[in-house]
Chains A and B, each alone.
Chain A
């Protein structure tokens, strides 16, 4: 009979046995569109640059050398550490970290609020959180630029209320970049925390209060540890794309807020680009992200055992 269990296999084994086959399309997709391009990028980072963009198939360390080492203007001085790109990376990590903290500070109470509404009202709130996503990120970021520019609505309003007498110059600052990152990625913080808080058993808070914990102690010792997986997921989902973001830094920031994403983007744009160098920067960024994710995975598997 078709579909009958093979001899000796239980029903549940048969059902679970379908798992690997169900994954096949995913494996093919990831292979073609993720592993292949990243592999290609890894190879490019070791090739020689072509001046009009593109690569020459000659193996060299030049891209990594350029990233880490300063050999002077003509490349003939003894090498010292090149701080320019490390500085850009460091600033990016710092910006992405700050954006993550801001998203957490605003996102956690938001998620808590939504998860504690009536079950029937929650989908409405979640829908409201996702509304900005109906609009393209580029358009949203440009609108943000329009909002905060020197003679934009925000400044006009503040001038009108008399809070300020001269327009604040917000555009092209770290603040503007933060605002852009925060606005772009806040829902990625809210949604995983929401799903963790929704599953949180509020009897645990009662138990903590019953055992002499005030509200802050309960938050610190019971609520946060229990919903931690959601918080960590949210932080990763905000930190990782913030680190590689280029729209917000490009459109809202200036030369001083240059981030990794923009650095990489520039290398592949037009004739001034340097593909191997862009590829090398991308590989270094990838290594940092992988290191963070591996650390998290290790901590989690340790906790589970």
Chain B
């Protein structure tokens, strides 16, 4: 990738609050025009990193480069990035139009030009009819769109979004996801989107950085993050998974030879950094096939099942007592394996992945 297609270069950023370290040398490249998501549980440092890029927090060490220029020493009002705040932070004493024009006016645009440009942006978020209203007179979804329009109007190099959908109810949130993604494509502006909601991250992002305890755990496309998790945290945080204790006999060229619990041999892809000896394999519940016990299958005993509509979830136990979760598609089967019945589970080579830890 060439230098020019990087929008933001986060280079070994450390953030300390007194004795607490919120970011432990975080690095990532955010490319121009991509929808980039910072995903992780609360307290993982994703919002801190976003606030460092916006300039609301000083970085303790490291650089944040925008088009090659280090913006870390600049105050927020000198950075060509704009933010959509979690609770929107709309100016309550201004009309929608005044809110959206605010950034342009501060950058020296005339009242007329700023209003014209703001009206265009309001049109894009379908709020033209609300230009004269005050934020207090709008619904949550409308306020969210005003916040988006206000941040987009000055044409930032990068748009930062701090869990902007978390204040909306579920139905609205799903509609706004599609809309937001569409606006991102239309404008071609790089979006840096912070969320703790993995479904949101998977459906909207071009790439995701999974964070935990102030460190980047993995960066990749939604598919890569889900199908090829790097470590136990990523495998467990994204979707549902089974983490099985295994013994690795050899790792070479990204493939591992290992023994599943009970000694069943398996050859599967290995994450970078995986080594010989005791390790962990991630197997998604929907990638396990069930059948009768027999040679070449992993024996298990059904403990319970949960009916989920499109799926049926089987809670089973391996012979060593480790729990294992299997998801069967609801294809109109007459019978579901009863509690106590014996099963033979088949894990295809491509369904399992040896993790780095």
Interface residues of A in 205-231 (CB under 8 A from B): 206-214, 217, 221-222, 225-226, 228
Q: Are A204 and B89 touching (Cβ within 8 A)? A: yes
CA distance A56 to B81 in the complex (A): 78
Q: Are B102 and A211 touching (Cβ within 8 A)? A: yes
Does A203 interact with chain B (Cβ within 8 Å)? yes
CA distance A217 to B82 in the complex (A): 17
Q: Which residue of A lies closest to B153 (CB)?
A: A211
Interface residues of B in 6-33 (CB under 8 A from A): none
Q: Are B89 and A206 touching (Cβ within 8 A)? A: yes
Q: Which residue of B lies closest to A222 (CB)?
A: B91
Q: Are A211 and B85 touching (Cβ within 8 A)? A: no
Does A201 interact with chain B (Cβ within 8 Å)? yes
CA distance A211 to B268 in the complex (A): 51
Q: Are B56 and A206 touching (Cβ within 8 A)? A: yes
Which residues of B have CB within 8 Å of A209? 55-56, 75-77
CA distance A228 to B91 in the complex (A): 13
Total count of chain A residues near the partner, CB < 8 A: 18
Q: Are B103 and A201 touching (Cβ within 8 A)? A: no
Q: Are A210 and B82 touching (Cβ within 8 A)? A: yes
Which residue of the partner chain, among A210, A222, A226, contacts B76 with CB atoms under 8 Å? Answer: A210
Return the CB mask of A137-180 against B: 1 if under 8 Å, else 0: 00000000000000000000000000000000000000000000
B107 CB to nearest chain A CB (Å) = 5
Return the CB mask of B71-102 against A: 1 if under 8 Å, else 0: 00001111001110101011111000000001
Given A204-B91, A222-B91, A226-B92, do A211 and B56 touch, yes or no (CB 8 Å)? no
Q: Are B93 and A225 touching (Cβ within 8 A)? A: yes
Q: Are B54 and A217 touching (Cβ within 8 A)? A: no
Q: Which residue of B lies closest to A228 (CB)?
A: B93
A147 CB to nearest chain B CB (Å) = 42
CA distance A87 to B150 in the complex (A): 52
Interface residues of B in 107-154 (CB under 8 A from A): 107, 150-151, 154
Instruction: Give chain A's interface secondary structure class.
Output: helix
Q: Which of A210, A212, A217 has the most CB of B within 10 A?
A: A210
Q: Are A203 and B107 touching (Cβ within 8 A)? A: no
B180 CB to nearest chain A CB (Å) = 18
Q: Which of B85, B107, B150, B154 has the most CB of A within 10 A?
A: B85
B143 CB to nearest chain A CB (Å) = 13
Does B106 interact with chain A (Cβ within 8 Å)? yes
Q: Which residue of A lies closest to B102 (CB)?
A: A211
Q: Are B77 and A213 touching (Cβ within 8 A)? A: yes
A118 CB to nearest chain B CB (Å) = 15
CA distance A179 to B298 in the complex (A): 89
Which residues of A have CB within 8 Å of B92? 226
Q: Are A210 and B91 touching (Cβ within 8 A)? A: no
CA distance A203 to B89 in the complex (A): 6
Q: Which residue of A lies closest to B82 (CB)?
A: A210
Q: Which residue of A lies closest to B92 (CB)?
A: A226
Q: Which residue of B lies closest to A214 (CB)?
A: B77
Q: Are B85 and A203 touching (Cβ within 8 A)? A: yes
CA distance A211 to B154 in the complex (A): 8
CA distance A151 to B92 in the complex (A): 54
Which residues of A have CB within 8 Å of B91? 204, 207-208, 222, 226
Q: Are B85 and A212 touching (Cβ within 8 A)? A: no
A196 CB to nearest chain B CB (Å) = 12
Which residues of B have CB within 8 Å of A213? 77, 102, 106
Q: Which of A209, A217, A222, A226 has the most CB of B within 10 A?
A: A209
CA distance A29 to B55 in the complex (A): 56
CA distance A201 to B93 in the complex (A): 13
Which residues of B have CB within 8 Å of A212? 77-78, 103, 106-107, 154
Given A206-B56, A214-B77, do A226 and B93 touch, yes or no (CB 8 Å)? yes
Q: Are B107 and A210 touching (Cβ within 8 A)? A: no
Q: Are B150 and A211 touching (Cβ within 8 A)? A: yes
Q: Are A201 and B77 touching (Cβ within 8 A)? A: no
Which residues of A have CB within 8 Å of B82? 210-211
Given A212-B106, A212-B154, do A206 and B93 touch, yes or no (CB 8 Å)? no
Which residue of the partner chain, among A203, A217, A228, contacts B106 with CB atoms under 8 Å? Answer: A217
Which residues of A have CB within 8 Å of B106? 211-213, 217
Which residues of B have CB within 8 Å of A214? 75, 77
Which residues of A have CB within 8 Å of B93? 225-226, 228
Return the CB mask of B141-181 against A: 1 if under 8 Å, else 0: 00000000011001000000000000000000000000000
Which residues of B have CB within 8 Å of A211? 77, 82, 102-103, 106, 150, 154
CA distance A226 to B81 in the complex (A): 25
A137 CB to nearest chain B CB (Å) = 37
Which residues of A have CB within 8 Å of B154? 211-212
Given A225-B93, A226-B93, do A210 and B54 touch, yes or no (CB 8 Å)? yes
Q: Which residue of A lies closest to B87 (CB)?
A: A203
Which residues of B have CB within 8 Å of A204? 89, 91
Q: Are A207 and B77 touching (Cβ within 8 A)? A: no
Which residues of B have CB within 8 Å of A208? 91, 102
Q: Which residue of B lies closest to A209 (CB)?
A: B76
CA distance A228 to B54 in the complex (A): 28
A: residues with CB less than 8 A from B are 201, 203-204, 206-214, 217, 221-222, 225-226, 228
New A-B pairs, 16, CB < 8 Å, besides A206-B85, A210-B77: A203-B87, A204-B91, A207-B83, A209-B56, A210-B76, A210-B81, A211-B77, A211-B102, A211-B154, A212-B103, A212-B107, A212-B154, A214-B75, A217-B106, A221-B102, A226-B91
Nearest 6 A-B pairs (CB), nearest first? A211-B103, A203-B89, A212-B106, A207-B89, A209-B76, A225-B93
Between-chain CB contacts (< 8 Å), 18 pairs: A201-B87, A204-B91, A206-B54, A206-B56, A207-B85, A207-B89, A208-B102, A209-B55, A209-B56, A209-B77, A210-B56, A210-B83, A211-B102, A213-B106, A214-B75, A225-B93, A226-B91, A226-B92
